[in-house]
DNA sequence: GAAAAACTGTACCGGCGGTAGGGTAATGTG
DNA sequence: CACATTACCCTACCGCCGGTACAGTTTTTC
C-alpha cells in the first residue's frame, strides 16, 4: 500500500498517468541536453530519439519548442524551491539563533552540491538569461520571478539576523541576499569551466566565511 | 601622425588590412549574437546579413563554425586581459600597500562595469561552459586556461596581501582568487536575469567588503 | 465496452550549416 | 604599370531540423 495518494496535480510519481510520466521523461532528457548544449542547439529530434517516442508524440505534449522551454523552467524552479526549503528549514530546526540558522543552511547547501556525483548539472536560469533572445516575454518574467524569489528567501533570514547581529560593515541586505544566488551561479560556471565540481561547494563555503565575518561580534 | 606602428600582428585598428577589418566586424557581430542567443542558435546567415557579406565571404575567413567559436573566445580572452591589466595595474600606481591595491582594483572594476551603457554584455567563458558539448577539446582547454589565468592574477596579488595582513579567518588563497571570477560570472547572470545592470557592480563591491573584513586589522 | 488519452505514421515546407567550385574586384608589391 | 595575392561574390547543391497537418491506432481509464 505504497501509493494511496491520487489527487490530480499532487500525484506521487507512481500514481501519475502514463502521459504525465512520458512528459516528465521528455523534460528530464531535454533539461540535460539544454544544460550541456544550450536551448537553441538542442534538437527535438535527439530528445524524441532518447525518449523513444515519435515526433508526433512530442508535439502532443508540447505545442512547440517555446512551450517546452516554459515547462522546463517551471519544473526547474519548483525543484530548486524544494531543495532550498529542505536545506534552510533544517537550519531552523537545529537552533533558534538566526545567524546560526543561515550558516547551517549554507553549510548544508555546500555539502549537498559537493555530494552530486557528476557535479552540479547547471542552472536553467543562467542558461535562459544567456539566451534571452530565444524566449518570449513570459519565460523571461518567470526567470526574473525565480531570482526575486531567492532574494526574498534570504532577505527574510537576514532581516532576522541583523536584529541580533549588527553588521561590522555597512551592507544592503537585498544585495547580500542576492550574493547567495551570485555565488551559486558563478560557482556553477567555475565548476563547469574547470571541470572541478568541488569548486561550487568551496565558493559557497567562502561566502559563509564572509557572512560570519560580517555578523560575528568583534572581540572588545 | 597618429598611426606610425605597422608591425604585422601588432597593428593598430587603422593600419589593419581590409580582410582583417572584415574579420573583426564578423567577430564583433557574432559575439553580440552569441551572448544574446547562445552559440548553437546563432546562425551564420544572420551574421553575414548584418556584416553585409556573402556566405562565401564568411567561409573565406573561417573554415567552419568551430573556427569562429575559437576565434571569438581568443578575442574575448585578450580583451578581458587588457581590461584587467588596466584596472589592477592602476591600483599599483596609486599605492604600495598590496591590500589597498586590490581594493582599488575591485572598486575600479565595479565602476567600469557600472558605466557600461547597456550593462555588461556577458562573458563568453560562461556561454561556452554552458554549451560545452558544442565545442571541441581545444576550445574547452582554452576556456579552462582563461579561468586559470584569472586565478593566477588574483592569487599573485593575494600572496602579497597576506604577508602584511594575516587573514581573520582561515582561507584558501586560490579559492579566494577564484571568488573574483565567481562573483563576476554570477553577477553577470544576475544582472541579465533581472535586467538591472547595476547588480554586477553591487556584487563586486560586496566582494570588496568581504576582502576588507577578511584582511583588516582588528581593533584591539 | 465505450470514451478519452496517448500516442504512431506519413508527407511536406522552409531555413540553416556546410561544401564545391568558378568568377571577379580590390589591394599591395616589385 | 604589371602582376600576384587577397578578399571576396555567385550559383547550386546536400542533409538535418523545427514545425505543420492530419488521419490512423493503441492504450488507459472510467
Q: Inform me whether the pLDDT recorded for A210 exceeds 50.
A: yes
Q: Inform me whether the pLDDT recorded for A153 exceeds 50.
A: yes
Measured between alpha carbons, how far is B162 from B167 in angstroms, rounded to an integer?
7
Please say whether the beta carbons of B91 and B101 come within 8 A.
yes
Q: Inform me whether the pLDDT recorded for B4 exceeds 50.
A: no
Measured between alpha carbons, how far is B97 from B120 in angstroms, rounded to an integer?
30
Q: How wide is the angle at C-alpha B176 spanned by C-alphas B171 and B179, nearest 5°? A: 145
The predicted pLDDT at position B16 comes to: 60
The grid coordinates listed for B138 are 581545444
Cβ <8 Å between B134 and A41: yes
Residues 6+ apart with CB under 8 A from B212: A169, B103
Q: What is the assigned CATH class of domain A9-62?
A: mainly alpha
The crossing angle, in degrees rounded to 10, of helices A198-215 and A173-194 is: 160
Whose cell is 561552459? That residue is B129
Among B3-17, B70-84, B114-128, B150-164, which is the least confidently predicted range? B3-17
Spans of all domains in chain A: 9-62, 68-215
Please say whether the beta carbons of A97 and A162 come within 8 A.
no
Helix runs in chain B, H state only: 18-37, 44-51, 55-61, 65-94, 98-114, 124-129, 137-164, 173-194, 198-215
Closest residue by C-alpha to C1' distance, nucleotide C28: B17
The predicted pLDDT at position A63 comes to: 87
Q: Inform me whether the pLDDT recorded for A75 exceeds 60.
A: yes
B43: confidence class by pLDDT, cuts 50, 70, 90: confident
Measured between alpha carbons, how far is A107 from A101 in angstroms, rounded to an integer?
10
Average pLDDT over every residue of B155-180: 97
Q: pLDDT tens digit string along B129-145?
A: 898 888 888 889 999 99
Q: What is the CATH number of domain B65-215?
A: 1.10.357.10
Average pLDDT over every residue of B139-167: 96
Whose cell is 572588545? That residue is A220
Q: For chain B, what is the mean pLDDT?
A: 89
Q: Measure CB to CB from residue A193 to each of B125, B184, B206 and give the nearest one.
A: B125
- Which residues on chain B are in Cβ contact (under 8 Å) with A130? 35, 38, 122, 126-127, 130, 189, 192
Average pLDDT over every residue of A24-28: 93
Q: Tell which CATH architecture fits domain B1-62.
A: Orthogonal Bundle (1.10)
The predicted pLDDT at position A2 comes to: 35
**Range with the largest mean pLDDT of A31-45, A129-143, B155-169:** B155-169
Q: Does the A68-215 domain belong in CATH 3.40.50.300? A: no
CA atoms within 13 A on the CB side of B206: 29
Q: Inform me whether the pLDDT recorded for B99 exceeds 60.
A: yes
The predicted pLDDT at position B19 comes to: 66
Q: What is the DSSP letter of B219?
A: P
Q: Measure CB to CB from residue A36 to each of B133, B183, B186 and give the nearest one.
A: B133
Average pLDDT over every residue of A101-108: 97
Measured between alpha carbons, how far is B214 from B80 in angstroms, rounded to an integer?
27
Q: Nearest to residue B67, comparing CAs of B142, B17, B9? A: B142
Backbone angle region of A42, left / alpha / beta, with phi > 0 → left and psi within -120 to 50 → alpha: beta
Residue A64, CA distances (Å) to A22, A54, A130, B58, B203 in order: 16, 14, 21, 32, 37
The predicted pLDDT at position B149 comes to: 97
Burial degree of B102 (CB within 10 A; 0-12, 13-18, 19+): buried
Nucleotides of C under 7 A from a protein CB: 5-11, 15-22, 26-28
The predicted pLDDT at position B21 comes to: 84
Residue B50, CA distances (Å) to A30, A162, B35, B117 in order: 32, 53, 16, 22
The predicted pLDDT at position B7 comes to: 32
The predicted pLDDT at position A114 comes to: 95
**A89 vs chain B: nearest CA distance in angstroms?**
25
CB-contacts to strand C (7 A) = A 17-20, 22-23, 52-57, 60-61; B 17-18, 42-46, 55-56, 59, 63-66
Amino acid at each position: 500500500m505504497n501509493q494511496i495518494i491520487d489527487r490530480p496535480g499532487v500525484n506521487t510519481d507512481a500514481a501519475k498517468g502514463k502521459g504525465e510520466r512520458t512528459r516528465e521523461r521528455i523534460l528530464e532528457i531535454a533539461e540535460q541536453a539544454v544544460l550541456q548544449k544550450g536551448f537553441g542547439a538542442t534538437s527535438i529530434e535527439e530528445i524524441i530519439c532518447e525518449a523513444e517516442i515519435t515526433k508526433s508524440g512530442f508535439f502532443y505534449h508540447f505545442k512547440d519548442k517555446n512551450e517546452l522551454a516554459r515547462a522546463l523552467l517551471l519544473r526547474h524552479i519548483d525543484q530548486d524551491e524544494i531543495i532550498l526549503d529542505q536545506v534552510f528549514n533544517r537550519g531552523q530546526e537545529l537552533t533558534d539563533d538566526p545567524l546560526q540558522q543561515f550558516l547551517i543552511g549554507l553549510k548544508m547547501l555546500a555539502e549537498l552540491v559537493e555530494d552530486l556525483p557528476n557535479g552540479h548539472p547547471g542552472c536553467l536560469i543562467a542558461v535562459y538569461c544567456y539566451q534571452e533572445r530565444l524566449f518570449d516575454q513570459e519565460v523571461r518574467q518567470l526567470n526574473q520571478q525565480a531570482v526575486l524569489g531567492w532574494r526574498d528567501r534570504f532577505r527574510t533570514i537576514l532581516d532576522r539576523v541583523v536584529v541580533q547581529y549588527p553588521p561590522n560593515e555597512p551592507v544592503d541586505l537585498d544585495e547580500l541576499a542576492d550574493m547567495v544566488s551570485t555565488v551559486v551561479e558563478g560557482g556553477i560556471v567555475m565548476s563547469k569551466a574547470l571541470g572541478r565540481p568541488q569548486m561550487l561547494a568551496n565558493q559557497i563555503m567562502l561566502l559563509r566565511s564572509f557572512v560570519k565575518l560580517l555578523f560575528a561580534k568583534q572581540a572588545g
